A and B are shown apart, each in its own frame.
Chain A
Amino acid sequence: MKLSDRKFKVVVIGGSAGSFSVVSKILSQLDPGFPLPLVLCLHRLKHVRSGLVEGLNMKSKIPVVEPYDKEKLRAGVAMLAPSNYHLFVEFDSTISLSTEDVHNHSRPSIDYAYSSAAYSFRDKTLGIILTGANKDGARGMKSICDKKGYTIVQEPASCDVDAMPQAALRLFEPDQILNPDEIVKALNSLVV
């Protein structure tokens, strides 16, 4: 089935080392009429608390915000997991945050963001895992796959650090393996 024939409620993008430039590229080439809520879960240095959202906003074609707890997902808005909080996507299309323990040495944990979206929206979830030096995210992507959501893994050869995509590929077979240009194309194909 073509990606554009599927109905999604949320797109979740996760990345770690090297992902800032990829996410920035995706956001800068996204159709301004992008019709879905976008959740970004990126590993960031705990003590660099600010700057990421501003950095992403500079080039992005859609607004990027750090959500407050229980904020509603909005079509065409990218919500970036705040530093030092886990982010979950809830049944009622709200975001909830958590300060519980680090997972895979990370808070936010990409696994948590993916698996909460899979749990809430099942096959209406589109998950994209990007470059990174950690295995966080792989299990979460698998849970999207298990719930028949759509999964895209960044092509390892196009990654700064391919540990994260490789960890994902060891756990399940994604719908697509794409380089950043192709990821942009895939996302823009969702614009009707």
Chain B
Amino acid sequence: MGLNSCGVMTYKEYLQVLKEHSPYDFSDYSDNSIFRRIQKVMRDHQLSLEELCEKTQGNRYFVEEVVEAITVNTTELFRDPAVWKYLFEKHIPVYRGNNFINVWHAGCSTGQEVYSLLIIFSELGLLDKVRVFATDISQKALDIAKKGVYQHQIDRGCMDNFNTVFENHGSSSLSFSKYFDVDEKNDKISVKPFLKERIKFIRHDLVRNEMPFYNKVDIVFCRNVLIYFNVKLQNRIVQRFYDGLYNNGSLVLGAHEGLSGFFKTKFERQGPIYRKSNTFHLRY
């Protein structure tokens, strides 16, 4: 294993070991965040970096555990309601004329935003046209996403988010229970099966270059995922999104994520959405 001049292993060297002994490459993750998460793994397992390293080389199951621990899986229904409101009122209706609407939800985590999007399609009467490829690095997260059962949601403001998004929608007030079985006693909600039918969940590591499916897509959803990567890796992934999108297709990022230099000329900004464009844009 690699040691630096002080004879002390650094977490960067650990990431190299992980890369060599597993399919996972975290070397282009944002420094601070990955460092702290590795520290947490060391604390939880009471291991030094050297011991962590050794265990990583010999134990495949442990590697999976480490990967689960250092990837971030927080998400919520309709996070940033203003973005969803825009999607519902202004953007998604654009696709009304399509026969199919293909969506790649990259880094879907436990799935709350996949279902948020499908609810929007459903309210617009477009549910039968949409096909979602929802991908994530974490098998555990995907398993939860597939189940669509969420604990401790009711008091978490997700109802408020839901109501904010649909506040101007029609005359009758839209009910949360159209899409979820709500178990208030146990503070649990379950997604109804008709939403789940539209989704294909695929395990996929965004760092790796191969695409997880063959279709071109109309919309790429990738919210609060790129923040964990450095700019070099971000750009590599945005290029892949660009290539995977139809012309005029849309990229939806997190509320505080933007495109760096070069890509600002390849996408046109419309509200919170970036649209793939063939014309050259200097700025937005």
Binding site for B on A (CB under 8 A): 46-47, 49, 66-70, 82, 84-85, 88-91, 94, 96-101, 112, 115-116, 119-120
Contacts and interface: CB of A to CB of B under 8 A. Distances in A.
Contacts of B227: 69-70, 85, 96-99
Contacts of B157: 46-47
A83 B240 CA distance: 29
B256 A89 contact: no
Contacts of B143: none
Given A70-B231, A70-B260, A99 B33 contact: no
Contacts of B255: 82
Interface residues of B, number: 28
B230 to A, nearest CB: 8
The 10 closest A-B pairs by CB, nearest first: A88-B32, A96-B30, A116-B32, A100-B72, A68-B258, A69-B227, A99-B224, A97-B227, A82-B256, A69-B257
B35 interface: yes
Q: Which of A66, A89, A98 has the most CB of B within 10 A?
A: A98
Contacts of A101: 74
A148 B37 CA distance: 24
A98 B231 contact: no
B160 interface: yes
B250 interface: no
- Chain A at the B interface: SS class: loop
B95 to A, nearest CB: 27
B180 interface: no
A116 B32 CA distance: 6
Interface in B57-112: 72, 74-75, 79-80, 82
A97 B256 contact: yes
B33 A100 contact: yes
A99 B33 CA distance: 11
Contact of B256 (A85, A90, A100): A85
B257 A96 contact: no
A120 B224 CA distance: 23
B243 interface: no
A98 B33 CA distance: 8
B255 to A, nearest CB: 7
Q: Which of B32, B79, B231, B260 has the most CB of A within 10 A?
A: B32
A88 B257 contact: no
A44 B142 CA distance: 31
A88 B32 CA distance: 7
Given A100-B33, A119-B32, A119-B35, A69 B256 contact: yes
